[in-house]
Amino acid sequence: MAQLVTVNLVDDLDGGIAEETLRFSYRGSDYEIDLSKKNATAFDKAMERFVAKARKTKGTTPRSTRKESGSGLSRDELAEVRAWATKNKIKVSPRGRVAGDIIARFQSTKRGSTK
Protein backbone atom coordinates (compact mmCIF):
# COMPACT_ATOMS: atom_id res chain seq x y z
CA MET A 1 0.00 0.00 0.00
CA ALA A 2 1.36 3.42 -0.91
CA GLN A 3 0.97 6.43 1.34
CA LEU A 4 1.29 10.10 0.57
CA VAL A 5 2.23 12.11 3.63
CA THR A 6 1.82 15.87 3.42
CA VAL A 7 3.62 18.12 5.88
CA ASN A 8 2.23 21.60 6.37
CA LEU A 9 4.46 23.99 8.27
CA VAL A 10 2.74 26.27 10.76
CA ASP A 11 4.37 29.57 11.74
CA ASP A 12 5.49 29.14 15.35
CA LEU A 13 4.89 32.84 16.07
CA ASP A 14 1.47 33.61 14.66
CA GLY A 15 -0.03 30.22 13.69
CA GLY A 16 -0.24 31.12 9.99
CA ILE A 17 1.30 29.21 7.09
CA ALA A 18 5.07 28.87 7.42
CA GLU A 19 7.31 28.79 4.38
CA GLU A 20 10.62 27.81 5.92
CA THR A 21 12.35 26.35 8.93
CA LEU A 22 15.20 28.43 10.33
CA ARG A 23 17.89 26.71 12.36
CA PHE A 24 20.14 28.67 14.68
CA SER A 25 22.25 28.35 17.82
CA TYR A 26 22.20 30.60 20.83
CA ARG A 27 24.26 30.29 24.01
CA GLY A 28 25.23 26.70 23.28
CA SER A 29 21.78 25.39 22.36
CA ASP A 30 20.51 24.60 18.87
CA TYR A 31 17.04 25.74 17.84
CA GLU A 32 14.73 25.61 14.86
CA ILE A 33 11.60 27.60 14.18
CA ASP A 34 9.05 27.48 11.36
CA LEU A 35 8.27 30.95 10.02
CA SER A 36 6.28 32.68 7.29
CA LYS A 37 8.20 34.79 4.79
CA LYS A 38 7.22 37.95 6.72
CA ASN A 39 8.41 36.59 10.09
CA ALA A 40 11.58 35.09 8.57
CA THR A 41 12.41 38.52 7.12
CA ALA A 42 11.83 40.08 10.55
CA PHE A 43 14.09 37.45 12.14
CA ASP A 44 16.82 38.13 9.56
CA LYS A 45 16.53 41.86 10.11
CA ALA A 46 16.75 41.49 13.91
CA MET A 47 19.86 39.30 13.60
CA GLU A 48 21.54 41.38 10.89
CA ARG A 49 23.57 43.73 13.12
CA PHE A 50 24.78 40.87 15.33
CA VAL A 51 25.75 38.63 12.41
CA ALA A 52 27.60 41.53 10.78
CA LYS A 53 29.95 41.71 13.79
CA ALA A 54 30.16 37.98 14.55
CA ARG A 55 32.84 35.47 13.54
CA LYS A 56 31.78 32.47 11.48
CA THR A 57 32.64 29.06 12.94
CA LYS A 58 32.58 25.52 11.63
CA GLY A 59 30.07 24.56 14.30
CA THR A 60 30.05 24.32 18.05
CA THR A 61 28.48 20.89 18.56
CA PRO A 62 30.98 18.04 18.44
CA ARG A 63 29.71 15.17 16.29
CA SER A 64 30.14 12.69 19.12
CA THR A 65 27.46 14.45 21.20
CA ARG A 66 24.79 14.39 18.50
CA LYS A 67 22.25 11.74 19.29
CA GLU A 68 20.31 11.51 16.04
CA SER A 69 19.50 8.27 14.31
CA GLY A 70 19.24 7.65 10.59
CA SER A 71 15.60 8.75 10.84
CA GLY A 72 16.69 12.15 12.15
CA LEU A 73 15.02 11.47 15.50
CA SER A 74 16.84 11.56 18.83
CA ARG A 75 16.92 8.58 21.17
CA ASP A 76 14.23 10.20 23.32
CA GLU A 77 11.99 10.77 20.29
CA LEU A 78 12.47 7.16 19.15
CA ALA A 79 11.58 5.99 22.67
CA GLU A 80 8.39 8.07 22.43
CA VAL A 81 7.55 6.47 19.05
CA ARG A 82 8.16 2.98 20.49
CA ALA A 83 5.98 3.71 23.54
CA TRP A 84 3.18 5.02 21.30
CA ALA A 85 3.44 1.99 18.99
CA THR A 86 3.38 -0.46 21.89
CA LYS A 87 0.38 1.31 23.46
CA ASN A 88 -1.44 1.09 20.12
CA LYS A 89 -0.56 -2.61 19.66
CA ILE A 90 1.78 -1.94 16.74
CA LYS A 91 4.66 -4.40 16.59
CA VAL A 92 7.97 -2.58 17.09
CA SER A 93 11.36 -3.80 18.25
CA PRO A 94 12.60 -2.44 21.59
CA ARG A 95 15.97 -1.79 19.93
CA GLY A 96 17.28 -1.05 16.46
CA ARG A 97 15.57 0.58 13.51
CA VAL A 98 11.98 1.79 13.69
CA ALA A 99 10.14 1.45 10.37
CA GLY A 100 9.46 4.72 8.55
CA ASP A 101 5.74 4.03 8.26
CA ILE A 102 5.47 3.68 12.05
CA ILE A 103 7.29 7.00 12.53
CA ALA A 104 5.01 8.64 9.94
CA ARG A 105 1.88 7.30 11.66
CA PHE A 106 3.14 8.54 15.05
CA GLN A 107 3.94 11.99 13.67
CA SER A 108 0.57 12.16 11.92
CA THR A 109 -1.23 11.28 15.16
CA LYS A 110 0.87 13.78 17.10
CA ARG A 111 0.09 16.58 14.60
CA GLY A 112 -3.60 15.69 14.71
CA SER A 113 -3.70 15.98 18.52
CA THR A 114 -2.35 19.55 18.51
CA LYS A 115 -5.32 20.91 16.55
Q: What is the pLDDT of residues 76-114, one digit of tens each?
A: 888 899 999 999 999 988 888 888 889 888 888 877 765
Confidence of residue 70 (pLDDT cuts 50, 70, 90): low
CA 65 to chain centre: 17
Q: Mind giving me the DSSP string for the chain?
A: ---------B-TTTSSB--EEEEEEETTEEEEEEE-HHHHHHHHHHHHHHHHHSPP-S-SS-GGG--B-TTS-BHHHHHHHHHHHHHTT----SSS---HHHHHHHHHHHHHHT-
Distance CA(106)–CA(104), nearest Å, equals 5
This prediction has a pTM of 0.48
CATH, range 1-66: 3.30.60.230
Give the architecture-level CATH label for domain 69-115: Irregular (4.10)
Would you state the pLDDT for residue 64?
45
| pLDDT number for residue 38 | 96
Domain layout of the chain by residue ranges: 1-66, 69-115
